[in-house]
Structure 1
Amino acid sequence: MKETIVFIHGLTGSRKAFKKQIDYFSHFYNTHAYDLLGHGENLDKTTDFTLHGLVSQLEQLFEQKEITKAHLCSISYGCYPATIFAVKRKEKVQSLCYIGGHYNSDSPLSYVLRHFKENSYSSYSDWLKRYSRDLFPNSSAVDPYAIISTRIYYRYGLHLKENILKRAIDHRLDYDLKKDLKQITVPVLWVMGDHDNLFKSSIIDLDEVIPHVFYKEIPHTGHAANMFRPFAFRRLYAEFLRKGKGTR
């Protein structure tokens, strides 16, 4: 019987973020991806964009698809519902993969989040433009990964209801995800792009938070490493799933 992978996208994204992964892994696994509340096909629907609502959405997917147990693979903010679900429903999770994952820690990332929680600027568009730029700062004179990530985040963020991204900031500042991560006992693969410096600043104590974590950086990638270098990510994740662990 095939094992199952559930893919969870990040803010401003949709289930299409994992299209290339699903095209490959569906040959060997049952694969599922869905649109988070307020995103994709749920864009214009009235939504309960709370962590409770997001976790309930994932629980409903498990029930509707009759999934008894699955590997969870999430991008960025998707690590919040994935982790909370994994702690709440331990019996249903085989492993966790985080791409561009982050958590509440005193870091340059938290400074950016706090700044944009406290400042609204002249319009949502202006706020989002500044926020997108500061989330993916240029690490060099010209960082193509930061430029691409900034443009994508701004472009698709404009389609979201204004409260979505602002509520997500509250979640990341106020919810103690680190406490939940410390309770994780299943295998964990944590993948970051080597250019994803701001988000990497929040996980400097990752080995202490999850002692059994397998951490990998994919070179020449930005925040969504699976999208920048899908084949490199595919090889890494496939090996992790086969072995139940990675290699340091």
Structure 2
Amino acid sequence: MLHFEKKGNGKETLVLLHGFMENSSIWSDMEPHLSENFTLLKIDLPGHGQSEIIAEVQTMELVAEEVKKVLDSQNLKKIHLLGHSMGGYISLGFAEKYPEYLKSLTLFFSTYFPDDAEKKAQRIKSYRIIQDAFAHYAKAGVPNLFNPNEKDILEGKIEIALQTALSTNNLGALASVKGMVERTDKKHVLENLEAKILVIAGKHDNAVKTELLIKNLPDRTNIKSYVLDCGHNGHWEKPGICTAIINTELLHNLPKHLVL
């Protein structure tokens, strides 16, 4: 089973799925205020953190099944699910397969769009360098995921993100990239899911086509979106405002203290 940690004593359970080359430690800046209102279930995805690799190609749907096993082990049947980046892709896979489990779905700097041809080609070209020169791959990519206008302010957070990435099993990263290449369009999930849908995106996100994403969200009353002045990593760049949005939208309950 995937490694997980539980924090907080809230009546509502919020399941947190990190992104590619991350682990459950990424939520540390948001956790104190989220845990005031939620019981947090932080899961290490396969080949990341303390979770083992489960397949040579870890598709989003396959990993979603592993997430469900964790929920079932904790007898959880109604949850709020939030996924950052790759965690959002997995969340969409979960919502497609198990919609009855969800009170809400939050795409956190993520998208329902599949990779276009160019992005797929980039991922496929990265296979060898991930396998043979993973440190170079991480060091070249991680800084570009932050707001380019605030890299001096965010220097410490970028270093944390880099060290988190370098701690990842390179073969786990490789299996995840192969899984992301196989992603399909999941817009129909947002069009049909009855649960609350929250989209939090970054104006300067180099990994997600934010403007296109927001423009093409289904016009439904259960969907709400926010675009923040940050890059791809709101949990490190804007933890206070991200926490406030999540608490307000999912529980209509502002945290006692904001770290803006």
Q: How does 1:75-154 map to 2 (within 5 A)?
A: 75-105=84-114, 111-112=118-119, 114-119=121-126, 120-121=128-129, 123-132=133-142, 135-136=144-145, 139=148, 143-144=151-152, 151-154=159-162
Matched, 1:5 2:17: no
Which residue number corresponds to residue 56 of structure 1?
65
2:216 paired residue among 208, 230, 236: 208
CA deviation vs aligned residue, 1:183-235 (integer Å, no higher than 9, x gap) = 33322111123322x2342660444343233121223x332212222211121
Please tell me whether the aligned partners of residues 106 and 202 of structure 1 are also in contact (alpha carbons under 8 angstroms). Answer: no
Letter in 1 for 2:86: Y
Once residues 148 and 76 of structure 1 are traced to their aligned partners in structure 2, the CA distance between those partners, rounded to angstroms, is: 21
Tell me which moved more, 204-213 or 12-21: 204-213
Residues 17 and 159 of structure 1: is their aligned pair in 2 closer, same or farther, counting only changes over 3 Å? closer
2:77 paired residue among 61, 68, 72: 68
Matched, 1:14 2:23: yes
Q: TM-score, normalised by structure 1?
A: 0.79
Residues 105 and 58 of structure 1: is their aligned pair in 2 closer, same or farther, counting only changes over 3 Å? closer
Q: Which of the two has greater helix per residue?
A: 1
CA deviation vs aligned residue, 1:127-146 (integer Å, no higher than 9, x gap) = 3433445x538745x74478
Residues 128 and 116 of structure 1: is their aligned pair in 2 closer, same or farther, counting only changes over 3 Å? farther
Please tell me whether the aligned partners of residues 234 and 242 of structure 2 are also in contact (alpha carbons under 8 angstroms). Answer: yes
Please tell me whether the aligned partners of residues 178 and 209 of structure 1 are also in contact (alpha carbons under 8 angstroms). Answer: no
Aligned residue-pair number = 236
Q: Give 1:91 deviation, angstroms.
A: 0.9
Once residues 92 and 78 of structure 1 are traced to their aligned partners in structure 2, the CA distance between those partners, rounded to angstroms, is: 17
Please tell me whether the aligned partners of residues 61 and 93 of structure 2 are also in contact (alpha carbons under 8 angstroms). Answer: no
Letter in 2 for 1:3: E
CA deviation vs aligned residue, 1:61-103 (integer Å, no higher than 9, x gap) = 2111111101111111101221111121111101111211124
- Gaps in structure 1 of 5+ consecutive residues: none
- Gaps in structure 2 of 5+ consecutive residues: 1-9, 254-260
Once residues 146 and 23 of structure 1 are traced to their aligned partners in structure 2, the CA distance between those partners, rounded to angstroms, is: 20
Once residues 188 and 148 of structure 1 are traced to their aligned partners in structure 2, the CA distance between those partners, rounded to angstroms, is: 32
Once residues 226 and 203 of structure 2 are traced to their aligned partners in structure 1, the CA distance between those partners, rounded to angstroms, is: 9
Once residues 107 and 94 of structure 2 are traced to their aligned partners in structure 1, the CA distance between those partners, rounded to angstroms, is: 14
Q: TM-score, normalised by structure 2?
A: 0.75
Please tell me whether the aligned partners of residues 201 and 226 of structure 2 are also in contact (alpha carbons under 8 angstroms). Answer: yes
Q: Give 1:13 deviation, angstroms.
A: 1.6
Please tell me whether the aligned partners of residues 136 and 149 of structure 1 are also in contact (alpha carbons under 8 angstroms). Answer: no
Q: Give 1:116 deviation, angstroms.
A: 4.0
Residues 137 and 16 of structure 1: is their aligned pair in 2 closer, same or farther, counting only changes over 3 Å? closer
Once residues 29 and 135 of structure 2 are traced to their aligned partners in structure 1, the CA distance between those partners, rounded to angstroms, is: 31
Letter in 1 for 2:78: K
Which residue number corresponds to residue 166 of structure 1?
174
Once residues 227 and 132 of structure 1 are traced to their aligned partners in structure 2, the CA distance between those partners, rounded to angstroms, is: 13
Once residues 85 and 20 of structure 1 are traced to their aligned partners in structure 2, the CA distance between those partners, rounded to angstroms, is: 26
Once residues 36 and 225 of structure 1 are traced to their aligned partners in structure 2, the CA distance between those partners, rounded to angstroms, is: 19
Once residues 227 and 56 of structure 1 are traced to their aligned partners in structure 2, the CA distance between those partners, rounded to angstroms, is: 28
- SS at the partner of 1:156? helix
RMSD of Structure 2 on Structure 1 (CA): 3.1
